[in-house]
Amino acid sequence: MSDMSFAFNAADFNAGVDIPQDLRDSQGRYPMDPGYGTTPDTEVSSPVYAGGTLNRPTAGGEAPVDGTTTGGGNGDTGTGTGGGTGFSPNRDARNTIKAVLASYGLDALSEALWNNYSSGFVDVTNPQALLYSIKNEPAYKERFKANDARVKAGLPELSPAEYIGLEDQYKQVVRSNGLPQGFYDTTDDITKLISGDVSPSEFQSRITNGYNAVANADPEVRRQMQDLYGVSEGHLAAYFLDPTRGEPLLQQQAQAAKIAARGLESGGMQLSKATAEDLAARGITEGQAQQGFGNIGQLGELTTQMAGETGLTQGQIVGQAFGYDTQAALELAKRARRRVGEFAGGGEFARTQGQTSGAIQTAVGTAQ
């Protein structure tokens, strides 16, 4: 068997050695299953074991078919009464095992893995196979607990190297955005991201186009997030970085909050969630929103329905301002002509509304 100090080292793991896709034998059993390889007269070929063959245990030093013994011999030399020569572990490997497991936060399993190695239970030339031999240990499952959620969701299980690589990338994204240490980089936070299969690039996008877009905006945008979605400033991060929410929806909601802020500021109208989201879905920018709602503000009393006029909803008034509701635009133009005519003829509308100097202001906006 190969020298542990050469085969099992951190460099191997950092290189991302692939986990064997399927370690089952022809009978559908895994090499780490209890009692595996103990059936009489059976040898099992597996990429996990040295030489591709697992020596089945023998009683009283009986020599297995390949001439080595796994029972009745000295635990260090591997020699037994059957006359074969067994596996002799490299004692320096204990420190190597401990160091590598420490890099994974699995220090508590170093003794279990040493036992697997020193007994010749697993091929040390395959680092991933060594870790596979302890994957059912509670400490291992806790360290890589997002894998259970991934499997249940039909997602592939990650190798330790892939798992830790993702953890490092998430933390780098947090740092690169100037967010403080401890901000969404706890074990529970990262477990949620890995469980939800959120890629580092999507995580970056959620921070840039979601969280930062709102957290760094003016107070009115943050207030709109509260009014439209019930999200307070203290919960912005959890909301935008939650893997259970789709990234496109989060970006649309952030944009809707900004549009709603401009609607109140420039047009004097508090948008409904549906109207704000509709504008965001249409690709209306914050600058376009400011201009469009400014035009609505200039309509004055034209947006208020009078007797004999067709009523317009908030969505229709907004739609005509942004050019996608032509019927509403025609109705507003009709209102303006009718009200100008009423004023000019001194009708009921003119008597009830009054006339300002030089312009029909409150009734028809800025028409001269």
pLDDT number for residue 121 = 74
Q: pTM surpassing 0.75?
A: no
For residue 30, is pLDDT > 60? no
Higher pLDDT, 350 or 134: 134
Please tell me which of 170-184, 267-281, 290-304 the model is most confident about, judged by mean pLDDT. Answer: 267-281
- The pLDDT value recorded for residue 145 is 93
* Rg, the chain, Cα only: 35
Distance CA(267)–CA(174), nearest Å, equals 37
Confidence at 130, pLDDT banded by 50, 70, 90: confident
Left if phi > 0, otherwise alpha if psi is -120 to 50, otherwise beta: which for 163? alpha
Q: Where are the domains of the chain?
A: 4-143, 150-197, 200-297, 300-368
- The lowest-confidence range among 55-59, 166-170, 265-269 is 55-59
DSSP category for residue 138: H
Instruction: Give the residue-averaged pLDDT of 232-245.
Output: 90
Looking at residue 254, its pLDDT comes to 95
DSSP 328-340: HHHHHHHHHHHHH
With a CB cutoff of 8 Å and minimum separation 6, the contacts of 240 are 206, 207, 210, 211, 214, 250, 254
pLDDT of 162 over the 80 cut = yes
> Does 4 score more than 80 pLDDT?
no
Inter-residue contact 25 to 45 (CB < 8 Å):
yes
Calculate what percentage of the chain has a pLDDT beyond 70.
66
Phi, psi (deg, nearest 5) at residue 88: -110, 115
Per-residue pLDDT at 303 exceeds 70: yes
pLDDT at position 345 is 52
- The residue count of the chain comes to 368
Contacts of 166 (CB under 8 A, 6+ apart): 158, 190, 193, 194, 200
Taking residues 83-88, report their average pLDDT. 47
**Kind plus residue range of the DSSP H or E element containing 308:** none
Tell the residue number behind the tokens 């690169």, with chain if given.
Answer: 176
User: 268 and 304 in contact (C-beta within 8 Å)?
Assistant: no
